């Protein structure tokens, strides 16, 4: 499912117009992004939790040459599904 299909599904289920549904989806995604940028986690009961993990610097290998390279530390987004979502897809 892509973004437009999700907007259509939201519009169908909620009875809202597609433009209002798209605005609501954009606001939701934007709010999650802003919270993660601040280092906060976002917990949606029954759906899951978005959080930030820090990945340490590590050594890797260039697959083409085999030479060792240093992979920089970085922050990554982590999603842990909630119990209801986990059970729904089983």
Q: What is the pLDDT of residue 67?
A: 95
Report yes or no: 16 and 24 within 8 Å, Cβ to Cβ.
yes
- Phi/psi of residue 89, each to 5°? -95, 0
Spell out the SS3 assignment of the chain. Answer: CCHHHHHHHHHHHHCCCHHHHHHHHHHHHHHHHHHHHCCCCEEECCCEEEEEEEECCEEEECCCCCCEEEECCEEEEEEEECHHHHHHCC
Task: Summarize pLDDT for 26-78 with one digit per residue, the tens.
Answer: 999 999 999 999 999 999 999 999 999 999 999 999 999 999 999 999 999 99
For the entire predicted model, the pTM comes to 0.81
Q: What is the pLDDT of residue 19?
A: 96
């Amino acid at each position: 499912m892509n973004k437009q299909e999700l907007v259509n599904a939201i519009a169908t289920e909620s009875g809202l117009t597609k433009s209002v549904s798209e605005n609501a989806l954009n606001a939701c995604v934007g709010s999650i992004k802003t919270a993660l940028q601040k280092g906060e986690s976002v917990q949606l009961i029954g759906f899951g939790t978005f959080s930030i993990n820090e990945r340490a610097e590590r050594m890797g290998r260039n697959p083409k040459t085999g030479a060792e390279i240093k992979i920089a530390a970085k922050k990554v987004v982590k999603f842990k599904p909630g119990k209801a979502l986990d059970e729904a897809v089983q």
